[in-house]
């Protein structure tokens, strides 16, 4: 009798632990964690060679968690493929369109992680079989509540960032505005992801799709505007070559370089972000007596750049550069070309 008593006592911990796990069997999981209330993940595996029981337990728990995440992701994917009404970027093949697509694609890639608030895990090790079980579950109601709160908070942040971006754009601070709009894209994608998860969990959930659709449209239009770059109005441009007007070589060089760096020139000063004036002249360099040399000239340009919004002069000064060639005329042209490059580099510090 005593022998039987101790035998039963030795086996009691095993049976108590196993019975305590109300998820080990498939029918237990269906009964205790019904799919209308829970999303679950179940894993089972042996301890691998060189792996401890603790390490195997962690691995199987993580597998179960991954199954839960994947189950949510599949439901979201199925829902969005059937009912996705978000605005699509029209592929015009333009550089601006490609830039905007790249911004959105990058934001989507950084927002692939699904937060599983309330996710719980459990595990069980069957000593007789040497098998580890892992189980993970999340309550749909709790997860829905989490994403409702997350959506509202994200939309508030998004609205604040968009207001800041619009103010910066109105103040002609286009580079800063673009940065804010790109931050808004990240928040928009996060909000849309929250909406997708809410619809997958509860098809009757209030998701504010119209609001995010309008935000998406506003952001796309703003990025398209900003992709056109800073607008510059040339109020005056003069180039004097030995007492005669030149073909505005420095002016053309400045325009070319600035345009290649995202700026645009306008003939309407009301549309301008900056107003530019140029007054250029060229000087011959006197050769050293008795020493044959290549003709050299110095080009001097008075530059003034005014920010239209504030009517403040952001840059004013005289920039000089030399040029050499086989005649003074071509040396002067070379000097104007060189000084144009130098001016453009200087202006880039202020117009971006």
What tens digit of pLDDT does each residue of 194-205 get?
Answer: 999 998 888 888
Question: Across the chain, what does the average pLDDT equal?
Answer: 84
Distance CA 88, CA 91 (A): 9
pLDDT at 4: 33
Q: Are 200 and 245 in contact (CB under 8 A)?
A: no
Higher pLDDT: 112 or 188? It is 188
Sheet containing 131-139: give its strands across: 38-46, 131-139, 120-126
In a domain, 175, yes or no: yes
Distance CA 174, CA 333 (A): 34
In a domain, 112, yes or no: no
Confidence check: pLDDT of 13 > 80: no
pLDDT tens digits, residue range 290-349? 556 778 999 999 999 998 888 899 999 999 999 988 888 899 989 989 999 999 999 988
Instruction: Work out whether strand 231-241 and strand 244-245 pair parallel, antiparallel, or are unpaired.
Output: antiparallel
Q: What is the CATH number of the domain that holds 267?
A: 3.30.160.150
pLDDT tens digits, residue range 232-272? 888 888 888 887 777 678 788 888 888 887 787 878 887 78
In sequence order, the β-bridge partners of residue 43 are 134
pLDDT tens digits, residue range 187-196? 999 999 999 9
In a domain, 104, yes or no: no
* DSSP label at residue 192: H
pLDDT at 258: 86
In a domain, 114, yes or no: no
Q: How far is CA 187 from the centre of its chain?
A: 9
Q: φ and ψ at 284, to 5 degrees?
A: -80, 140
Do residues 213 and 240 both lie within one domain?
Answer: no
Strand, helix or coil at 158? Answer: helix
Q: What is the pTM of this model?
A: 0.63
Strand, helix or coil at 204? Answer: coil
Q: Could you list the residue range(s) of the whole structural domain that residue 149 is in? A: 142-227
In a domain, 16, yes or no: yes
In a domain, 305, yes or no: yes
In a domain, 282, yes or no: yes
Neighbour tally for 196: CB within 10 Å: 23
In a domain, 17, yes or no: yes
Do residues 260 and 336 both lie within one domain?
Answer: yes
Do residues 134 and 173 both lie within one domain?
Answer: no
Residue 83 pLDDT grade (very low, low, confident, very high; cuts 50, 70, 90): low
């Amino acid at each position: 009798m005593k022998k039987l008593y101790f035998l039963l006592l030795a086996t009691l911990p095993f049976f108590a632990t196993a019975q305590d796990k109300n998820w080990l069997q498939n029918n237990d999981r269906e009964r205790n964690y019904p799919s209308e209330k829970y999303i679950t993940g179940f894993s089972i595996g042996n301890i691998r060679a060189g792996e401890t029981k603790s390490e195997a337990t962690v691995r199987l728990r993580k597998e179960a968690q991954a199954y839960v995440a994947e189950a949510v992701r599949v439901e979201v994917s199925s829902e969005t493929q059937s009912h996705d009404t978000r605005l699509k970027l029209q592929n015009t093949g333009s550089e601006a369109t490609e830039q905007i697509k790249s911004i959105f694609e990058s934001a989507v890639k950084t927002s692939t992680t699904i937060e599983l608030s309330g996710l719980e895990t459990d595990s069980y090790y069957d000593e007789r079989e040497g098998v580890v079980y892992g189980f993970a579950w999340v309550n749909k109601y709790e997860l829905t509540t989490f994403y409702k709160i997350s959506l509202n908070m994200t939309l508030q942040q998004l609205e604040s960032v968009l207001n800041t971006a619009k103010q910066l754009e109105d103040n002609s601070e286009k580079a800063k505005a673009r940065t804010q709009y790109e931050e808004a894209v990240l928040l928009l994608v996060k909000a849309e992801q929250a909406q997708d998860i809410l619809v997958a969990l509860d098809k009757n959930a209030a998701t504010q799709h119209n609001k995010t659709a309008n935000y998406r449209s506003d952001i796309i239009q703003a990025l398209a505007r900003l992709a056109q770059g800073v607008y510059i109005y040339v109020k005056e441009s003069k180039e004097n070559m030995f007492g005669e007007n030149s073909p505005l070589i420095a002016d053309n060089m400045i325009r070319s370089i600035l345009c290649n760096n995202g700026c645009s020139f306008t003939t309407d000063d009301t549309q301008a972000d900056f107003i530019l004036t140029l007054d250029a002249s060229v000087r011959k360099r006197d050769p050293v007596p008795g020493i044959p040399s290549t003709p050299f000239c110095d080009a001097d340009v008075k530059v003034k750049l005014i920010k239209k919004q504030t009517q403040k002069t952001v840059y004013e000064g005289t920039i000089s550069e030399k040029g050499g060639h086989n005649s003074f005329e071509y040396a002067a042209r070379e000097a104007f070309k060189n000084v144009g490059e130098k001016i453009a580099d200087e202006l880039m510090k202020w117009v971006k």
